[in-house]
Amino acid sequence: ETGVTQTPRHLVMGMTNKKSLKCEQHLGHNAMYWYKQSAKKPLELMFVYSLEERVENNSVPSRFSPECPNSSHLFLHLHTLQPEDSALYLCASSPQRPGQGSGANVLTFGAGSRLTVL
Amino acid sequence: AQSVTQLDSQVPVFEEAPVELRCNYSSSVSVYLFWYVQYPNQGLQLLLKYLSGSTLVKSINGFEAEFNKSQTSFHLRKPSVHISDTAEYFCAVIPNTGRRALTFGSGTRLQVQP
C-alpha cells in the first residue's frame, strides 16, 4: 500500500464505548497529524507527532487520547465521547515536523474515519 | 496566530463556465498559501501552493490562484469547469517561520451542473 491509510472508514459508537482509530503512513515521513473535520467548520488540528514525540496538542478534551508507537503509525483512542464529537477524523503525514526544512512542509492526508456517536 | 476565511460555503456553476473561489487570510507574519481539494469520500489532496516568486501559481488540471499581499487574498480560479471538478476546496496557510501546522478555512463546496 502507498500513502496514508486510515481504519476503520466508518465507526458508530455509544457514549460509554471505548474504540480506536488507526492511521498508517507508507511514505517515510517523520510527522503525523490528527485533524477533526465537522460540517461548515474549518479543519481543527488536534495533535501533531514528530518521530513519536507529541509536539502540539490544541486543547483537545482528554476523552481523545493519541498514541504514536513509531513514525509510521498513529492511533486515536476514544472513550466516553459526546454526540458533538461526531465528525470525520483525518490523519495526515508530512516529511518533517512543522517549521522544519526548506519551503513548506506539505501534508498528505488519508481518506478519513467517519465517526458517529449515539 | 493565523486565520483563513472562505466566505462562500457553496458555489453552484454550470459546466464550462468560469469560477472563482475566494480565500482571505490574516497573519502578523509572512505565510505560505495552499489550496487543497477533497473529492467525495476521499481525503484532502494538495491542488496548488504559493511559497515565493511568481504570485500566480497553477495546477495540472487548469486551476490557478494568485497571491495578493495587499489584499491578503489567494483566490482560486478556473476559466472552464468540468463535472469532475465537483468537490470541496479548502484554503490553508502556514507561517514561513516558527513551528505552527497548517490553518485551514471552512471550505467551499463547488457544485458543477450539466
Average pLDDT taken over every residue of chain A: 89
> How large is the average pLDDT for residues B18-42?
93
Cα dihedral A100, B52, A106, A94, rounded to 10, equals: -10
**Most A-contacting residue of B31, B51, B106 (CB-CB within 10 A), to test interface:** B106
Residue A49: how many CA atoms within 13 Å on its side-chain side? Answer: 24
> Residue B100 has what pLDDT?
73
Taking contacts as CB-CB distances below 8 angstroms, the residues of chain B near A98 are: 94, 99-101
Q: Please name the amino acid found at residue A112.
A: G
Query: In terms of pLDDT, which residue wins out, B45 or A101?
Result: B45
Interface of B with A (CB under 8 A): 4, 9, 32, 34, 36, 41-46, 49, 51, 90, 94, 96-107
**pLDDT at A17 exceeding the cut of 70:** yes
Tell me whether residue B27 is exposed, middle or buried, using C-beta atoms within 10 angstroms of its C-beta: 0 to 12, 13 to 18, 19 or more. Answer: middle
